[in-house]
Chain A
């Protein structure tokens, strides 16, 4: 299960980045969000949102094993009811900030370049599948892909 995009719909409004930082850090800063949008203007005039597909490469390259896929929650602990700040959702690789040594290896190795370092913290910012961005994305770019379904 991971966040996926229909890039053709993206309008570049950055609401997803805004809510991501507000939800996770209680402040507003698109540069502290776990997704990003590339814009190619003036030609061909497209937006390319990039999001984490939970491929787990970050976990495999982490030298201190700070990134892991927590055990699958029980079905009644549905993802929407949870609190991302308490430690992630079904299908999300999560960084243990106690273990993380801030080496940045995961950020460098991320194939989609959607792990971010910000000067405020040594722990990278990574999508925890909180899904807060989905309903506020007006054009409907963001959705959950569940390959088991």
Chain B
């Protein structure tokens, strides 16, 4: 099978059974790869109602057909599972060099099942697969463990690892790789922890064959040249996603103090420009990436040096703005803490900000926090709360389940500012004056995540107070952007360097020898979107309805406090109008269920 590894590796940690299966042709033709594979496999193989942290849940690690090839940004891998945050399909994609290495080892997909009775790691060296004891790595930080495993196994191994937060099943624990890349969202690190799987180490030396190597060489060279000559390329190389911080504040879309505001008064102290002067030591790319958005940084604290990749924009937004950490060295250190503990900086930032607002409002006090004043802007308070969360200690145990569950337990109106949709914390865009972005968060298939439809630029282009017609662009983006996750490539070359979408059907066709049109890729992407909706409905069939797509009450109850979007809030009826239009355009009924006609059209 050209471009693909052609194999699924299945590992059951309960009985140590390891098996290799051929990649089914129907899965390839209908679901392409990556997130398409994981959505179909989990829908088919998981029983309804299972505990995400129990033995019946599975983790699917899926590369795409372009992963590891000579294609810009071809380093993306999907981790997917039933999410402990949302109790539905969850996935998160990760860059670095893991997707490519898995392919060079001969696999497209790894499926991890069961629960090990002791801490283990999965060792993959081409066809040599072993479940190995991980006792010595237990309790160690994610960065530390990766360093230890590289020392023990050899530098050429690519490692995915969880930190203490994952081991302790924190519901927003991430999976880390390559000293700074994370599969951050939906808590799959907790699923790894529940399985007693500390790490996955992969080495591959096999070659990937493509249908037309000369044509790939020709098209690939052109695509790289297009990326490099784009005027925005240099800014991305220099600052990465941190270049968005200034812009986002100017737009009033920078989550600040638990989304009380959309503008952070200290944003210029944590921007990409400041990072360039103060912290960045190197530019760090994922496999095959010409723009190298990873900014490897160094900070000093109490006479000790800390190295970390970041902060990226999302970390700047969710810890910088949302927890009001307005100093680049404090923020870099906060990023380090989360990375070492193995906590998603988006949800982690949102949870800390939620706790800080609870403290501000007197819902929790010093008795709950172990004597610490949990104030916005205090890096020591942030560090303290992250440590408690990662150990599930004291109030950390409550917060470790995410803002939705924490607010349900705390009560006192805290659910009104628990900033999540479907149990997943909202990522780094304040969207009360950006209806398309808001709709994108409301309807995202894994919970409130920006990457399925970064629609805020559409709001800015066509009018930030306009509601009608926004669904069209959101749906378009929700179909285009996941294609990258299916192909195993990064979307940023398209989003930021305007690499033409026309390249992608060409690239998949010359590498796989198949014959896809862009419309067929989009159709496949829509199939995945609807399949994930069916997963959500199946899990919640008794009480499923449009309320699953509602944003938190803050969006329609509180106006943005300061900055360019000050005063903005959204009327509840406008939220329903957004959903009415969206459901109708999707071919879903008024409760957000795909109609039989739509499912038939998609072959579901």
Residues of A within 8 A of B (CB): 9, 11-15, 18-19, 21-23, 25-32, 38-39, 41-47, 118-120, 135-136, 138-139
**Contact yes or no, A29 B208, CB < 8 A:** yes
Distance in Å from the Cβ of A14 to the closest Cβ of chain B? 6
**Contact yes or no, B221 A45, CB < 8 A:** no
* Stretch from B117-125, B210-218, B374-382 at the A interface: B210-218
* Stretch from B36-44, B289-297, B383-391 at the A interface: B289-297
Quick one: which of B70, B146, B227, B285 contacts A22, CB cutoff 8 A? B70
B129 at the interface (CB under 8 A from A): no
B291 proximity list for chain A (CB < 8 A): 138
Q: Which residue of B lies closest to A36 (CB)?
A: B156
Quick one: which of A12, A13, A38 contacts B290, CB cutoff 8 A? A13
**Contact yes or no, B69 A18, CB < 8 A:** yes
Chain B residues bordering chain A, tally (CB within 8 A): 47
**Contact yes or no, B205 A28, CB < 8 A:** no
**Contact yes or no, A138 B227, CB < 8 A:** yes
**Contact yes or no, A28 B69, CB < 8 A:** yes
Interface of A is mostly: mixed
**Contact yes or no, A27 B208, CB < 8 A:** yes
Q: A18-B69, A44-B307, A138-B227 are in contact. Are A11 and B284 (CB under 8 A)?
A: yes
B263 proximity list for chain A (CB < 8 A): none
B584 at the interface (CB under 8 A from A): no
B228 proximity list for chain A (CB < 8 A): 138
20 A-B contacts, Cβ less than 8 Å apart? Answer: A11-B283, A12-B285, A26-B214, A27-B207, A28-B70, A29-B205, A41-B179, A41-B307, A42-B146, A42-B307, A43-B307, A44-B281, A45-B296, A46-B282, A135-B224, A135-B225, A136-B220, A138-B290, A138-B292, A139-B292
Given contacts A15-B290, A22-B216, A28-B208, 10 further A-B contacts (CB under 8 A): A11-B284, A14-B288, A21-B207, A27-B207, A29-B206, A38-B155, A42-B143, A44-B307, A46-B282, A138-B291
Please measure, in the bound complex, the distance between the C-alpha atom of A38 and the C-alpha atom of B225, giving whole angstroms.
Answer: 25
Q: Which residue of B lies closest to A45 (CB)?
A: B296
Q: A18-B70, A118-B205 are in contact. Are A12 and B284 (CB under 8 A)?
A: yes
Please measure, in the bound complex, the distance between the C-alpha atom of A44 and the C-alpha atom of B284, giving whole angstroms.
Answer: 12
Q: Which residues of B from 39 to 58 have beta carbons under 8 Å from A?
A: none
Quick one: which of B68, B147, B289, B292 contacts A42, CB cutoff 8 A? B147
Q: A28-B70, A28-B208, A45-B282 are in contact. Are A15 and B292 (CB under 8 A)?
A: no
Please measure, in the bound complex, the distance between the C-alpha atom of A9 and the C-alpha atom of B285, giving whole angstroms.
Answer: 11
Please measure, in the bound complex, the distance between the C-alpha atom of A38 and the C-alpha atom of B156, giving whole angstroms.
Answer: 9
B82 at the interface (CB under 8 A from A): no
B298 at the interface (CB under 8 A from A): yes
**Contact yes or no, A31 B288, CB < 8 A:** no
A41 proximity list for chain B (CB < 8 A): 147, 178-179, 307
Please measure, in the bound complex, the distance between the C-alpha atom of A45 and the C-alpha atom of B295, giving whole angstroms.
Answer: 10
Residues of B within 8 A of A (CB): 68-70, 97, 100, 104, 143, 146-147, 155, 178-179, 205-210, 213-214, 216-217, 220-221, 224-225, 227-228, 233, 237, 281-292, 294, 296, 298, 305, 307
Q: Which residue of B lies closest to A26 (CB)?
A: B213
**Contact yes or no, A15 B216, CB < 8 A:** no
B290 proximity list for chain A (CB < 8 A): 13, 15, 136, 138
A27 proximity list for chain B (CB < 8 A): 207-210, 213
Please measure, in the bound complex, the distance between the C-alpha atom of A42 and the C-alpha atom of B155, giving whole angstroms.
Answer: 12
B294 proximity list for chain A (CB < 8 A): 11
A138 proximity list for chain B (CB < 8 A): 224, 227-228, 233, 237, 290-292
Q: A13-B289, A19-B217, A138-B227 are in contact. Are A45 and B205 (CB under 8 A)?
A: no
Distance in Å from the Cβ of B6 to the closest Cβ of chain A? 14
Distance in Å from the Cβ of B241 to the closest Cβ of chain A? 15
A139 proximity list for chain B (CB < 8 A): 237, 283, 292
**Contact yes or no, A45 B97, CB < 8 A:** no
A19 proximity list for chain B (CB < 8 A): 70, 217, 220-221
B100 proximity list for chain A (CB < 8 A): 14, 30
**Contact yes or no, B205 A31, CB < 8 A:** yes
Distance in Å from the Cβ of B372 to the closest Cβ of chain A? 28
**Contact yes or no, A15 B70, CB < 8 A:** yes
Quick one: which of A15, A38, A119 contacts B288, CB cutoff 8 A? A15
Distance in Å from the Cβ of A36 to the closest Cβ of chain B? 10
Distance in Å from the Cβ of A127 to the closest Cβ of chain B? 18
Quick one: which of B97, B237, B298 contacts A14, CB cutoff 8 A? B97
Distance in Å from the Cβ of A49 to the closest Cβ of chain B? 12
Q: Which residue of A lies closest to B144 (CB)?
A: A42
Distance in Å from the Cβ of A85 to the closest Cβ of chain B? 11
**Contact yes or no, B205 A136, CB < 8 A:** no
**Contact yes or no, B217 A28, CB < 8 A:** no
Q: A27-B213, A29-B104, A136-B221 are in contact. Are A13 and B285 (CB under 8 A)?
A: yes
Q: Which residue of B lies closest to A23 (CB)?
A: B217
B97 proximity list for chain A (CB < 8 A): 14
Distance in Å from the Cβ of B94 to the closest Cβ of chain A? 16
